[in-house]
Amino acid sequence: MKHLLSTDGLDPAQATAVLDTADTLKRTLLGREVRKLPTLRGRTVVTMFYENSTRTRVSFEVAGKWMSADVINVSAGGSSVGKGESLRDTALTLSAAGADLVIVRHPASGAAQRLAGWLEGTGTGVVNAGDGMHEHPTQALLDAATLRERLGTIAGRRIAIVGDVLHSRVARSNVHLLTALGAEVVLVAPPTLLPTGVESWPVSVSHDLDPELPALDAVMMLRVQAERMHGGFFPSAREYSIAYGLNERRFNQLPEHAVVLHPGPMLRGMEIAAAVADSPRAAITEQVRNGVHVRMAVLYHLLAGEEEAA
């Protein structure tokens, strides 16, 4: 594996190998005071974020540092991007400066794929840390790691992805990965927040959350992406919350074992009630924690996996 751009077409065996590595890393580092492995010493990882991020950016930086890679953070505001330099020239500059891996978040769908094309033949790999409404593959991997940890298996589980599917790269990456791993996925959203062509996705679709709840093994609440709704928000925030918010009444309709996920950042009180988000059956903090180990595993497979296997 040289790049991680998408979960669409990701071999389930390869995804499982990443999840297994993440699990081993988590168990290896558990309880250690110094959480540092020498595996990626001498490797250089550059994060390049053209959109805001807390979880993804910090966990990639922590992951790189715990693997002993040199991690350099470039932000659009503090770099020559602010002087008008193109994404292509920025990427080629970072590669020429010694980046082994560029981790990119960009508002344009397809940006990570383009970057990988421009860097072909340079030896620099690319990880998609979220491109527009397209994909967020490491989020799906950390969600799968969390579900596996909580439920034991993913195959055969019924998982609802609820809310603003239209604008959600998290939803797209999770649909590809979870169905490839054998889960049954149901998308629950108002018709206005579903993409055209959803009928051809390997999922079922519902506009009504309540009847779905008793049969679910997990419910993944999505962030409402107001920044991508240039024409306004329909239904209104209040209507959305009434119809699709995971409130305490709905939470109580879920089976005892069901897990609640949210990729964050979350709008408490609108997408999810505070009492639900803070319940021990919600795995939202665990998702962030697993994000570090999953991203360590991704760095390992991209930068050291083949070398170790050779």
22: which 2 tokens? 């993440």
**Residue 53, interface with ligand CP (CB under 6 A)?**
yes
Instruction: Provide, rounded to whole angstroms, the least separation between the CB of residue 141 and ligand CP.
Output: 12
55 close to 129: Cβ distance less than 8 angstroms:
no
Residue pair 41/65 in contact by the 8 Å Cβ criterion: no
Least separation in angstroms between residue 296's CB and ligand CP is: 16
Scanning 24-32, 240-248, 261-269, 276-284 for contacts with ligand CP by CB under 6 A, the matching segment is 261-269
Contact 181/158 with Cβ under 8 angstroms? no
Structure tokens at 250: 């709905």
Cβ–Cβ under 8 Å, residues 116 and 5: yes
- Whole-angstrom distance, CA of residue 164 vs CA of residue 187: 10
Strands 259-261 and 218-221, bridge-based pairing:
parallel
Q: How far is the CB of 234 from ligand CP (least distance, A)?
A: 24
- Residue 246 has phi, psi (to 5 degrees) of -90, 90
Contact between 138 and ligand CP per CB under 6 A: no
Among candidate residues 110, 109, 79, the one with its CA nearest the CA of residue 94 = 79
Q: Which is nearer to ligand CP, 8 or 51 (CB)?
A: 51
Q: Which of 6, 56, 179, 241 binds ligand CP (CB under 6 A)?
A: 56
Rounded to whole angstroms, the maximal C-alpha distance in the chain is: 56
Closer of 161 and 213 to ligand CP (Cβ): 161
54 binds ligand CP (CB under 6 A): yes
Q: Is 202 in the site for ligand CP (CB under 6 A)?
A: no
285 binds ligand CP (CB under 6 A): no
Beta carbons within 8 Å of 123's beta carbon, 6+ residues apart: 95, 100
250 known member of a binding site: no
Determine the Cα–Cα distance for residues 76 and 57; give it in Å rounded to an integer. Answer: 13
Q: Is 139 in the site for ligand CP (CB under 6 A)?
A: yes
Per rule CB under 6 A, count of chain residues that contact ligand CP:
11
Residue 264 beta carbon to ligand CP: minimum distance, rounded to whole angstroms:
5
Measure the CA–CA gap between 59 and 293, rounded to whole angstroms. Answer: 9
DSSP-derived letter for residue 4 is: B
* Stretch in the footprint of ligand CP (CB under 6 A) among 28-36, 38-46, 51-59, 152-160: 51-59
Q: Which of 125, 190, 263, 305 binds ligand CP (CB under 6 A)?
A: 263
Q: Taking contact as CB under 6 A, which single stretch among the options 54-62, 110-118, 144-152, 160-168 is the one that binds ligand CP?
A: 54-62
Sequence-distant (6+) residues with CB within 8 A of 94 are 46, 48, 74, 102, 124
Our CB check for ligand CP shows the closer of 56 and 174 to be: 56
Using rule CB under 6 A, residue 21 touches ligand CP: no
| Shorter beta-carbon distance to ligand CP: residue 195 or 264 | 264
Q: State the residues that interact with ligand CP by CB under 6 A.
A: 53-57, 130, 136, 139, 263-265
